[in-house]
A and B are shown apart, each in its own frame.
Chain A
Amino acid sequence: DQQVKQNSPSLSVQEGRISILNCDYTNSMFDYFLWYKKYPAEGPTFLISISSIKDKNEDGRFTVFLNKSAKHLSLHIVPSQPGDSAVYFCAASAVDKDTGNQFYFGTGTSLTVIP
């Protein structure tokens, strides 16, 4: 059963506008969330993360929002640029210093930024 869900397989946005990518999770034990970007024929690259003790984390054009009560997080990209066109994966984990931690990824959202 998918513990991390990205319900929008694709999204198209005009250059300069805001891109909003959404992610839902089911496991309340998750305490760390990450977004990765993936270009074709490359491995995913880390974009931004957020700890469950926060509700917002910002890094340049990228902001991640976490709503723990709704088990929902979103990635905002402002302004969107053509180079942002890629597949975006949401991931979640629960820290356990003794047994390690598993990561759970969503199915990805393909973002296309139209010039």
Chain B
Amino acid sequence: EAQVTQNPRYLITVTGKKLTVTCSQNMNHEYMSWYRQDPGLGLRQIYYSMNVEVTDKGDVPEGYKVSRKEKRNFPLILESPSPNQTSLYFCASSFRARLGTSYEQYFGPGTRLTVT
């Protein structure tokens, strides 16, 4: 089954304690991305990756790191989480954008993170 998986689904942590949210896809997609969803703000892109070893900042990258060492995995790293990073996080993947073709993203189920 084609899917994007995220782990953990729920996480409660304390300020400053480093954490990693994993994301994996089995569709051989080049493009992967992380978003956060907050009330009244919709989905905002944190980082994205066009392919292995290629990553770029999205709209709200501050306080986050990513890496893309393998095509299927795109972990999100919070080196020193703060309460303003409490949010619902989504990982997504798609084929690479090309003019004239569709490149809709497939989303994971989400990770609810609470930083106290």
Does B24 touch A at the CB level, under 8 Å?
no
Residues of B within 8 A of A96 (CB): 97
Interface size on A, residues (CB 8 A): 30
Kindly identify, within residues 1 to 45 of chain A, every residue whose CB is under 8 Å from any CB belonging to chain B.
4, 6, 31-32, 34, 36, 41-45
Q: Interface code B33-74, partner A: CB below 8 Å = 1, 0 otherwise? A: 101000011111100111000101011000000000000000
Q: Give the docked Cα–Cα distance between A48 and B31 (Å).
A: 19
Q: A49-B104, A95-B97 are in contact. Are A105 and B42 (CB under 8 A)?
A: yes
Q: Which of A36, A91, A101, A108 contacts B97 (CB 8 A)?
A: A101
A60–chain B nearest beta-carbon distance, Å: 16
Q: A43-B90, A99-B56, A100-B54 are in contact. Are A108 and B106 (CB under 8 A)?
A: no
Residues of A within 8 A of B12 (CB): none
Q: A99-B56, A105-B35, A108-B42 are in contact. Are A45 and B107 (CB under 8 A)?
A: yes
Task: For A95, give the chain B residue with the smallest CB separation.
Answer: B97
The answer to whether A89 and B45 touch across the interface, beta carbons within 8 angstroms, is no
The answer to whether B45 and A107 touch across the interface, beta carbons within 8 angstroms, is no
The answer to whether B4 and A44 touch across the interface, beta carbons within 8 angstroms, is no
B35–chain A nearest beta-carbon distance, Å: 7
Q: Give the docked Cα–Cα distance between A101 and B30 (Å).
A: 12
Contact size range, B = 20 to 34
Q: Interface code B72-116, partner A: CB below 8 Å = 1, 0 otherwise? A: 000000000000000000101000111110111111111000000
Q: A102-B58, A102-B59 are in contact. Are A43 and B100 (CB under 8 A)?
A: no
Residues of B within 8 A of A31 (CB): 99
Q: Which residues of A contact B (CB under 8 A)?
A: 4, 6, 31-32, 34, 36, 41-46, 49, 51, 89, 91, 93, 95-97, 99-108
- Known pairs A102-B45, A105-B42; list 10 more (Cβ under 8 Å): A32-B103, A36-B107, A42-B109, A43-B108, A46-B106, A93-B97, A97-B96, A103-B105, A104-B59, A107-B40
**Across the A-B interface, the 7 shortest Cβ-Cβ residue pairs:** A43-B107, A107-B42, A46-B104, A105-B43, A100-B50, A95-B97, A105-B42
